């Protein structure tokens, strides 16, 4: 008997030996297909190879592909647990030919594998073909030796495979095994075909066409092969068990669940165990691939799956949250084949625990309400839509959970009533935002939000994805199309572009598709989750409904990531250095720098800044992984996560942790833990380097810090180094001696200035420095000194006049200073014994007049004035003398 892991490797080895490249499973969230909710088949990752858009270095491939069939075109959710073969998560084993072999070889490879390698009994096997596909029927006759009754012709879509509404497709041939009369069911095409007796386990698709639109189907460039074998079904066949849930892998998961619950599965509750085992797999794999529970889109499908499982855990009597405890069992079974499970184990565990803890709070009360509401109902009755909506809205019961809960009693739900109740609530919300006074350009986003739902953000995991344009807004109005040269806002169903929020700027990049290229210069988040890509159509025509590729400017995003993560590290370092009163007051994470405002009412010293920078860089050098978890706000805060004041948080928040604290109370614990929806580096080393470049006060009690990271920080340092070297070379010393050299020069200059002032004074007093009548003369019987001096500051002129007055003992002094720009200042001093005869104020006015100026003022013994024309200095002295002489 072969275990699941063995069957997988036998399959892959067989095709490897037959010239196939073994390719890894692609993620459950398709990167290359915007129309699909989840990867639902092995061919999804090769879609563009089939259509010729993409080429690979091989023409034959084989994979074991993770697949989810819930919430999309292929949806098995409702059946899981109640049939022997339906699963929401399964592994699809497949072999592919891209224009290489076709029908004959595909049938031959399949036949040899199942009969020779797997040893299935030929007489138990039968196949279906599409009713017009005589070619395939002929090969089955030839290769397997089947008679006509073992080749069943089917005319329905069951034998025409399509991935979704569009994409590669073609007729197919399915291989069935008859599991024996003891199981109920009939062959395909018979009225009993839904029974489990005839089990389909391998589908060979002869890919011939591409469905381009609903109406248009074209030939693929080269006929190709896509096959899909359900690994779990094959395991049930090879292990001789009736249901996929009895295979080794599921038995181990169910054992883990029953040992937690304390009782094993019995006839009455086996469905619950099966639901739990299946939903555990889909939940864990979806979380590992970046889906987190939410109220819309993929996140809501995940939430529905998780909550469905949780109700069954409750039914089984689990007293505590159960699902998270089963994660180790799943990792044991599948972690080797899918390492993303082990890598994501912590996130998976916490997400499950959080969801179940929260849901249990309302689950019991919701089930009570449901029991009351259905007490008088019987099989065939219907639960009213109002109650189903209340369960949905107030108790968090997804509609299908309510349906599942009533399934055993054959009670259905009034779906129209449910939709009416939902619509009433929407109308209320609409009235609220319509009346909120937002500008018309803003209300348009609310309208689009309601119509289209929130945009799925893929940008935590990828910078490139495909999407479908769901709306185009031009000049404030929604339009169906826009053309080259126009500036538009584009909404896409899913996007890797980050919409500006939490201080981090929106992404830029390109949106392009058939016949259109839009250069995106900004992305904004509007109306609670609509991502609006703003840009200019650089070529072609953008149309609503067009499939496009979205590519974020990778280098710019890299800088944004580094700056955002650095903000967290600086924040924590500031709290360590300055104290825990430091709280973030706003931030800007731009590509070229980061800005960070904090509450702190003192200047930050140079030493403190250096310490902050050093601590933050210590964590950079650790190069430790940056981890993100989803938590309830309360739990996050209890764990010490920093929440930003004034930010609105949902019930669940992303918590970003980085680094390991080296010092202090938190030593060996995570260094920075913050609630944050931004994008971050994978490991702190990716920041490269943090450099704080400025700190200033911006408002009372708020300081602003600016910093650079990575290359920008390095450039900044380079620039500073260059400047230092230039200064050193100008000073003709080594960079190490610049400081002492500059200090020496400053000191020397001070000394020289002092000496110069002294020398000028001496000159002014002793003659030589000035001109004109230098010597003391006698005018109107009193001693008189008059001088024009240069190089003396106006402020020193008074001191000079004073000194000259002292020297005279009794007399009148006039000093005229000529400044470098040719203007004059004049001081007149009169010794006290003469102020009765001459007023310094009168005399200075005479001088000012002669210098082309006006006025002047002071006291009778000392007065000052100015004039525009120092060349008239001599004339001014003469004028004073004349005035004295009367």
Q: What is the CA radius of gyration of the chain?
A: 43
Length of the chain measured in residues: 886
Q: At its nearest, how many Å lie between ligand SER and the CB of residue 278?
A: 18
Spatial distance between the Cα atoms of 81 and 250, rounded to a whole number of angstroms: 12
In the complex, minimum distance from the CB of residue 118 to ligand SER, in angstroms, rounded to a whole number: 18
Nearer to ligand SER, 133 or 226 (CB): 226
From the list 222-230, 304-312, 456-464, 516-524, the region that binds ligand SER by CB under 6 A is: 222-230
Q: Which residues contact 634 (CB under 8 A, 6 or more apart)?
A: none
Q: How far is the CB of 229 from ligand SER (least distance, A)?
A: 8
d(CA 296, CA 576) in angstroms, rounded, equals 40
E strand intervals along 766-882: 770-771, 777-779, 782-790, 812-818, 824-830, 857-859, 862-867
Nearer to ligand SER, 226 or 400 (CB): 226
The distance of closest approach from Cβ of residue 178 to ligand SER in the complex, given in angstroms and rounded to an integer, is 20
How far apart, in whole angstroms, are the C-alpha atoms of residue 575 and residue 618?
Answer: 15
Q: How far is the CB of 163 from ligand SER (least distance, A)?
A: 7
Give the residue with the Cβ less far from ligand SER, 47 or 805.
47
Per-position DSSP letters for 98-123, written without gaps between them: SSSS-HHHHHHHHHHIIIIIS---GG
Span 23-52, contacts to ligand SER by CB under 6 A:
41-43
Is the Cβ–Cβ distance between 99 and 62 less than 8 Å? no
- Taking residues 178 to 207 in sequence order and writing x for each that binds ligand SER by CB under 6 A, - otherwise, the string is -------------------------x-x--
**C-beta closer to ligand SER: residue 228 or 856:** 228
Which string of x and - marks every residue 92-131 that binds ligand SER (by CB under 6 A)? --x-------------------------------------
Q: Which of 446, 545, 564 is nearest to 498 (CA)?
A: 564
In this structure, are residues 572 and 664 in contact, taking their beta carbons and an 8 Å threshold?
A: no
Report H helices in 732-772.
738-766
Which backbone phi and psi does 481 adopt, to 5 degrees? -155, 160
String marking each residue 147-176 x if it binds ligand SER according to CB under 6 A: --------------x---------------
Backbone angles phi, psi at 462, to 5 degrees: -145, 155
In the numeric block, the tokens 């390991």 are attached to 660
Residue 226 CB, nearest distance to ligand SER (Å)? Answer: 5
Count Cα neighbours of 562 within 13 Å in the Cβ-side half-sphere: 26
Q: How far is CA 629 from CA 300, 633, 641, 647, 791, in A?
A: 18, 12, 11, 19, 74
Q: How many CB atoms lie within 10 A of CB 704?
A: 18
Least Å from the CB of residue 41 to ligand SER: 3
The two structure tokens encoding residue 45 = 């990752």
Residue 468: CB minimum distance to ligand SER, A: 21
> Does 74 carry a binding-site annotation?
no
Q: Report which of 328, 327, 316 is spatially closest to residue 279, judged by C-alpha positions.
A: 327
Q: Do the annotations mark residue 564 as ligand-binding?
A: yes
Report the distance separating Cα 526 and Cα 555, nearest Å. 25
Q: Which is nearer to ligand SER, 74 or 141 (CB)?
A: 74
Q: With CB under 6 A as the contact rule, which of the stretches 119-127, 221-229, 647-655, 722-730 interacts with ligand SER?
A: 221-229
Nearer to ligand SER, 201 or 596 (CB): 201
Residue nearest to ligand SER (CB): 228
Q: Which stretch binds ligand SER (CB under 6 A): 223-231, 364-372, 563-571, 682-690?
A: 223-231
Which C-beta is closer to ligand SER: that of 42 or that of 867? 42
How many residues touch ligand SER under the rule CB under 6 A: the total is 10
663 assigned binding-site residue: no
Nearer to ligand SER, 205 or 574 (CB): 205
Binding part of the chain for ligand SER, among 220-228, 453-461, 736-744, 764-772 by CB under 6 A, reads: 220-228
DSSP 603-668: PPPHHHHHHHHHHHHHHHHHTPBPEEEEEEHHHHHHTTPBPPTT----SEEEEEEEEE--SSTTTT
185, 131, 177, 182: which is closest to 153 by C-alpha?
Answer: 131
- Judged by beta carbon, residue 171 or residue 459, the one nearer ligand SER is 171
| Interaction between residue 227 and ligand SER (CB under 6 A) | yes
Q: Which of 25, 523 has the CB closer to ligand SER?
A: 25
User: Who contacts 781 (Cβ-Cβ below 8 Å, separation ≥6)?
Assistant: none
Whether 856 and 841 have beta carbons less than 8 Å apart is answered as: yes
Q: Which is nearer to ligand SER, 42 or 502 (CB)?
A: 42
The distance of closest approach from Cβ of residue 79 to ligand SER in the complex, given in angstroms and rounded to an integer, is 16
- Which residues in this chain contact ligand SER in the complex, by CB under 6 A? 41-43, 94, 161, 203, 205, 226-228
Question: Which amino acids are annotated as binding site for Zn(2+), given as ranges?
Answer: 564, 568, 676, 680
Question: Which amino acids are annotated as binding site, given as ranges?
Answer: 564, 568, 676, 680
């Amino acid at each position: 008997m072969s275990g699941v892991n063995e069957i997988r490797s036998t399959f892959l080895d067989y095709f490897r030996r037959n010239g196939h490249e073994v390719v890894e499973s692609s993620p459950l969230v398709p990167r290359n297909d915007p129309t699909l909710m989840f990867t639902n088949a092995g061919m999804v990752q090769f879609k563009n190879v089939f259509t010729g858009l993409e080429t690979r270095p091989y023409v034959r491939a084989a994979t074991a592909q993770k697949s989810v069939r819930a919430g999309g075109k292929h949806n098995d959710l409702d059946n899981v647990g109640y049939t022997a073969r339906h699963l929401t998560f399964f592994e699809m084993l497949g072999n592919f030919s891209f224009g290489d072999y076709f029908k004959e070889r595909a049938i031959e490879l399949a036949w040899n594998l199942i009969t020779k390698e797997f040893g299935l009994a030929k007489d138990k096997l039968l196949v279906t073909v599409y009713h017009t596909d005589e070619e395939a029927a002929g090969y089955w006759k030839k290769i397997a030796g089947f008679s006509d009754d073992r080749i069943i012709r089917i005319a329905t879509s069951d034998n025409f495979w399509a991935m979704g509404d569009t994409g590669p497709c073609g007729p197919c041939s399915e291989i069935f095994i008859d599991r024996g009369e003891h199981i109920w069911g009939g062959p395909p095409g018979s009225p009993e075909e839904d029974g489990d007796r005839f089990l389909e386990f391998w589908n060979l698709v002869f890919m011939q066409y591409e469905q381009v639109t609903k109406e248009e189907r074209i030939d693929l460039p080269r006929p190709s092969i896509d096959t899909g074998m359900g690994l779990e079904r094959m395991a049930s066949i090879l292990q001789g068990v009736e249901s996929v849930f009895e295979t080794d892998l599921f038995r181990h998961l169910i054992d883990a669940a029953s040992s937690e619950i304390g009782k094993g599965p019995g006839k009455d509750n086996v469905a619950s165990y099966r639901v739990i085992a299946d939903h555990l797999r889909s939940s864990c794999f979806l979380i590992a691939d970046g889906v987190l529970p939410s109220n819309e889109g993929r996140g809501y499908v995940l939430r529905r799956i998780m909550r469905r499982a949780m109700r069954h855990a409750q039914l089984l009597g689990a007293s505590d949250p159960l699902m998270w405890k089963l994660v180790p069992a799943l990792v044991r079974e599948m972690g080797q084949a899918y390492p993303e499970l082990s890598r994501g184990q912590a996130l998976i565990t916490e997400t499950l625990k959080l969801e179940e803890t929260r849901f249990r709070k309302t689950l019991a009360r919701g089930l009570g309400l449901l029991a009351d509401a259905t007490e008088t109902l019987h099989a065939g009755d219907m639960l009213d839509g109002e109650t189903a909506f209340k369960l949905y809205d107030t108790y968090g019961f997804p509609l299908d959970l309510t349906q599942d809960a009533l399934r055993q009693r054959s009670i259905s739900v009034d779906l129209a009533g449910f939709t009416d109740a939902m619509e009433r609530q929407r109308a209320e919300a609409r009235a609220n935002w319509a009346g909120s006074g937002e500008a018309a350009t803003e209300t348009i986003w609310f309208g689009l939000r309601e119509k289209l739902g929130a945009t799925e953000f893929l940008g935590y995991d990828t910078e490139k994805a495909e999407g479908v344009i769901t709306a185009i807004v031009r000049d404030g109005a929604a339009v169906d199309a826009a053309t080259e040269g126009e500036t538009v806002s584009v909404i896409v169903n899913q996007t890797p572009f980050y919409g500006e929020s939490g201080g981090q700027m929106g992404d830029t990049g390109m949106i392009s598709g058939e016949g259109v290229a839009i250069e995106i210069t900004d992305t904004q988040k509007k109306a609670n989750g609509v991502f609006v890509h703003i840009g200019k159509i650089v070529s072609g025509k953008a149309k609503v409904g067009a499939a496009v590729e979205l590519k974020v400017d990778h280098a710019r995003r890299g800088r944004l990531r580094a700056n955002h993560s650095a903000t967290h590290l600086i924040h924590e370092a500031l709290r360590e250095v300055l104290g825990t009163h430091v709280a973030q007051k706003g931030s800007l994470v731009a590509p070229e720098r980061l800005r960070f405002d904090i509450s702190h009412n003192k200047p930050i010293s140079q030493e403190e800044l250096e310490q902050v920078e050093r601590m933050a860089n210590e964590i950079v050098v650790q190069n430790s992984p940056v981890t993100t978890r989803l938590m309830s706000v309360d739990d996050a805060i209890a764990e010490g996560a920093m929440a930003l004041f004034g930010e609105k948080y949902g019930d669940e928040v992303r918590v970003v942790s980085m680094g390991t604290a080296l010092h202090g109370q938190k030593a060996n614990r995570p260094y920075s833990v913050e609630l944050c929806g931004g994008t971050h580096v994978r490991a702190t080393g990716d920041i490269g380097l943090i450099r704080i470049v400025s700190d200033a006060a911006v408002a009372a009690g708020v300081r602003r810090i600016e910093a650079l990271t990575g290359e920008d920080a390095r450039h900044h340092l380079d620039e500073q180094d260059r400047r230092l070297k230039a200064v050193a070379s100008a000073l003709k010393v080594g960079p190490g001696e610049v400081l002492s050299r500059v200090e020496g020069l400053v000191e020397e200059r001070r000394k020289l200035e002092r000496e110069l002032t002294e020398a000028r004074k001496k000159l002014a007093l002793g003659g030589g420095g000035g001109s004109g009548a230098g010597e003391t003369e006698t005018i109107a019987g009193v001693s008189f000194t008059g001088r024009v001096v240069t190089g003396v500051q106006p402020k020193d002129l008074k001191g000079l006049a004073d000194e000259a007055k002292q020297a005279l003992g009794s007399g009148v002094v006039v000093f005229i200073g000529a400044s470098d720009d040719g203007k004059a200042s004049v001081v007149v001093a009169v010794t006290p014994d003469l102020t009765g005869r001459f007023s310094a104020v009168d005399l200075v006015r005479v001088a000012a007049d002669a210098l082309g100026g006006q006025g002047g003022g002071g006291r009778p013994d000392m007065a000052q004035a100015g004039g525009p024309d120092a060349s008239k200095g001599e004339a001014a002295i003469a004028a004073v003398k004349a005035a004295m002489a009367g």
